[in-house]
Homo-oligomer: A and B are copies of this chain.
Amino acid sequence: MNTALSAMGRRTAPPPISWLMQTALSRPKLISLAAGFTDNATLPVKISRQMLDQVLRSAKTGRPALQYGITAGETNLRQLTARHLQELDLGGTPGRRPLIQGQRHAVPPEIHPWEHLMITGGSQQLLYLTMEALCDEGDLVLVEDPTYFVFLSILQSRGLHARGVRLERDGLDLTHLEIVLQRLKHSGELGRVKALYLVSYFHNPTGATTSFEKKCGILKRLKKFEGAAGHPIYLIEDAAYRELRFGRDAAPRRPRSSRRDDPTTPPSALMAPGALARVIYAGTYSKPYAPGARVGFGILPEPLFTAVQRIKGNHDFGTANLLQQLLAGALQTGLYNQHVAKIQKRYRRKAQIMRQALARHFPPDVEIWEPGGGLYFWARLPKHASTGVKSKIFRTALKNDVLYVPGGLCYADDPSRRKPDHEMRISFGNGSEENIRKGIKRLGEVLRKFL
């Protein structure tokens, strides 16, 4: 008898990372530089306890937190999140405000409209819902080359195709984007292109940040090809790591003029001209606050907002109210911002330790991309080397109890180029300072052996 599974049920591959995680669990002495987990020691245990105690202290606030809400999310959290985004986009020196029609403007209120902001079960759910509302099987999404591998898993599962656009250290290569779009136009595939997916801050896996100018450039180029496509081509900005910046202007609420200008935290694409109709912004409280609370959000233009809201209604009628009230409390009291300032310091310190260890232990012919925030370093070995799960380097590293994410896992199945196989993502997010030092030392020794 055949299986009854749907095409999607049959097709959906196991997550590439699950094998790595299983491996980590089965070797207790293994140091994992692979996981994208956040720092365990700074998780906001006390703040969460305090906030939840506050919410559940009275029936007046406790009952609504334990009852059904509305699909798009609680109004207070939606408003607080929109205001928080506005602060992120205006934070920094006034000079950093983007040019709109040649003049530096204050942000009009509709740039961060809470009515078009939806609360989701992490930003991952927002990405999934967006793909459901936007893409039919066989459609195309442009992605950075490399990109976030769980987004690639969504595409794989849903029968969607990806085309990679070259990534430079300051973000997407605009010239290559134009070439890719031209090629798709010539091959008659442009009508299937629905969106470009961009991890805009401290990119997963490379740590690269796309400048505001580049975001404007991307939108302009997508717009240019819309006529030939016959429909809008959206820019999906995944800003999951945005708040994990190392910059010393990290502390919130300082007067703007005293903040240094920080190229690692440009305004979001929402601030670009024409963004309101074309940018889907995906944000999350998982990375800056707590993955175990799993609250994310998105801003979506119409008709996407309505479509995504309806589909989310069928998924879960809205994200758990109790978690929404936890986040609302943390934002409202300012404890959220205090916590973020704390983890920024912590990640800065851990990144510094990894940087020093890399300089000391890695062979000089490995190119290191240093991030300005986030959780990852990106190491590029000479092109003849292979870092894949079957390579000598990977297997020897594993034997020496150290694990990394092979770069190849982060590249889309794009028939127009060979998948690079000589890179690795190395995370300092979850390890202790000691394990970061030890792990990089072990990995460096393996590399010196083979390079």
Assuming the contacts A49-B57, A292-B68, asked whether A8 and B311 have C-beta atoms less than 8 A apart, the reply is: yes
List the one stretch of A210-218, A225-233, A367-375, A389-397 in contact with chain B: A225-233
Task: Tell yes or no: A38 within 8 A of B by CB.
Answer: yes
A153, CB-defined interface residue at 8 Å: yes
Residues of chain B within 8 A (CB-CB) of A58 are 45
Q: Are the C-beta atoms of A311 and B12 separated by less than 8 Å?
A: yes
CB-based contact B230/A9 at 8 Å: no
CB distance from A303 to the nearest CB of B (A): 6
A6 located at the interface, meaning its Cβ lies under 8 Å from any Cβ of chain B in the complex: yes
A315 to B312 alpha-carbon distance, docked (Å): 11
Q: Is B122 a contact partner of A316 (Cβ separation < 8 A)? A: yes
Residues in B with CB closer than 8 Å to A101 are none
Count A interface residues, CB 8 Å: 86
Inter-chain contact A310/B157, CB cutoff 8 Å = yes
B310 touches A66 (CB 8 A): no
A43: interface (CB < 8 Å): yes
The residue in chain B whose Cβ has the minimal distance to the Cβ of A48 is: B56
Residue A363 interfacial (CB < 8 Å): no
Interface string of A300-327 (1 = CB under 8 A from B): 0001100110110111110111110010
Chain B residue nearest to A15 (CB atoms) is B313
- Asked if B307 contacts A9 (CB within 8 A), the reply is yes
A53 lies within 8 A of B63 (CB): no
A148, chain B: closest CB distance, angstroms: 12
Residues of B within 8 A of A57 (CB): 49
A17 closest partner in B (C-beta): B313
On chain B, the residues within 8 Å of A316 by CB distance are 121-122, 124-125, 128, 294
Chain A 75-91: CB-based contact to B (< 8 A → 1; otherwise 0): 00000000000000000
A293 at the interface (CB under 8 A from B): yes
Residues of B within 8 A of A9 (CB): 132-134, 303-304, 307-308, 311
Q: In the complex, A157→B303 CA distance in Å?
A: 16
Mask: chain A, 27-42; 1 = CB below 8 Å from B; 0 = not: 0000000000110110
Count of chain copies: 2
A440 CB to closest chain B CB (Å) equals 23
Q: Does A194 contact B (CB under 8 A)?
A: yes
Tell me the A1-19 residues at the B interface (CB within 8 Å).
1-10, 12-15, 18
Which residues of B sit under 8 angstroms from A232, Cβ to Cβ?
1, 3-4
In contact, B124 and A304 (Cβ under 8 angstroms): no
Most chain-B CB neighbours within 10 Å: which of A66, A121, A154, A308? A66
C-alpha spacing A234/B40, complex, angstroms: 42
CA distance A37 to B68 in the complex (A): 7
Per the bound structure, the CA–CA distance linking A141 and B11 in Å amounts to 21
A444 to B49, CA, bound (A): 48
Shortest CB-to-CB span from A427 to chain B, Å, is 13
Q: A46-B56, A49-B53 are in contact. List 11 more A-B contacts (CB 8 A).
A: A4-B231, A5-B133, A5-B303, A8-B311, A12-B311, A15-B313, A18-B313, A43-B62, A66-B291, A125-B315, A292-B320
Q: List 27 A-B contacts (CB under 8 A).
A: A1-B226, A1-B230, A2-B230, A4-B231, A4-B233, A5-B303, A6-B139, A8-B311, A9-B307, A15-B310, A40-B63, A43-B63, A45-B59, A48-B56, A48-B62, A48-B66, A49-B52, A49-B53, A49-B62, A66-B293, A67-B290, A121-B316, A124-B315, A125-B315, A157-B310, A294-B316, A322-B323
Closest 10 CB pairs of A and B: A45-B62, A49-B56, A9-B133, A292-B321, A66-B292, A66-B290, A294-B320, A9-B307, A4-B231, A43-B66
